[in-house]
Structure 1
Amino acid sequence: MPPVPIADDLFTWPDDEPRLIGGRCEECGTHVFPLRAGCARCGAAAVERALLSRSGTLWTWTTQGFPPKAPFRGEFAGTDPFEPWPVGVVELPGQLRVESLLTGCAVGDLEFGMPMRLVTMPFSTGEDGREIITFAFAPEGTGHA
């Protein structure tokens, strides 16, 4: 069975060069993610679908230092022994900042402002046995796909 995305209309799938699916307010130009019906900045209802940039810069990060509680179902969180993983905020130039898992890097390698790119990665396995895919950001130039 082919893999499925963690949620519909979150990122383009299947796609060798995935993009986050956000929105852009037709009134004030503000970008939103995920796509929603109204603008958080000006309150307008005229938000159009917009594909966000694949590249950005690491604005800040931290680590998930303990196993998350239910209902989180990400399989990478179930390693034994538990290994913390990085979570960051990536700034997409001229658009917005996105909170995301970080992959293809060690915490000691992360630097403020480092170039990042959007990738997809396995998240979990569904009850039907299908692999569930989510988005993450990886340092630009890494071999992580």
Structure 2
Amino acid sequence: MSRQSLEKKQIPAVEGVFTWPSKEPRFVGSKCKACGTVSFPKSSVCRNPLCANKADVEETLLSRRGKLLSYTLVCYQPPPPFVAPQPFVPFPIGEAQFPEGVAIIGQMTGCKYEDLKIGMEIETVVEKLFADEQGNEVVGWKFRPI
């Protein structure tokens, strides 16, 4: 067996939605050159219904930091493909507003539900979500209070 086959990898749960690998991960979105609308995830057309030139978009990286708009505690185990630790433990999720005008929902990390406050500053991080059948770490974005 080769050394490489013994090494476990980190694999994004969804390809192309955040920069990876990166010590400072950022969401990958799109920006319309005609009207300036920023959207996430990346799109090949402008999502602004009022835009006259929907095909003129470019890839853009969103800021790492944003503000917590809303949050809640998930008290039930989400259905597949979500993989939860067993036994299931409730976890907080939050909606983060980024300076580019995009709001994204994600799990909260590095905090207790009771410590969350609307308007608090958060940063995007990438952490292990679960291990796949080969033992690789499947990673995804989470939000951590600053």
**How far apart are residue 79 of structure 1 and its match?**
2.9
Question: RMSD of aligned C-alpha atoms?
Answer: 1.3
TM-score of the two chains, using structure 1 as the length reference? 0.88
One-letter identity of the residue aligned with 1:104: G
Deviations 1:10-40 (A, max 9, x none): 1111111111111111111111111011122
State the aligned residue count.
136
In the TM superposition, what are the counterparts of 1:62-77 in structure 2 within 5 Å?
62-73=72-83, 77=84
Could you say if the C-alpha distance between residues 70 and 8 of structure 1 is closer, same or farther in structure 2, counting changes exceeding 3 Å? closer
- Of 3, 7, 24, 2:10 maps to 3
Task: Kindly provide the amino acid, as one letter, of the partner of residue 97 in structure 1.
Answer: A
Shift of 1:63: 1.5
SS state at 2:66 partner: strand
1:1-145 equivalences in 2 (<5 Å): 1-42=8-49, 44-73=54-83, 77-80=84-87, 82-140=88-146
Structure 1: stretches of 5+ with no match in the other structure: 141-145
User: Which TM-score applies when normalising by structure 2?
Assistant: 0.87
State which drifts further: 57-66 or 43-52. 43-52
Task: Structure 2: state its 5+ residue gaps.
Answer: 1-7
Shift of 1:110: 0.4
Which structure would you say has the larger Rg? 2
Percent of pairs with identical residues: 35
Structure 1 ranges of 4+ moved more than 6 A: none
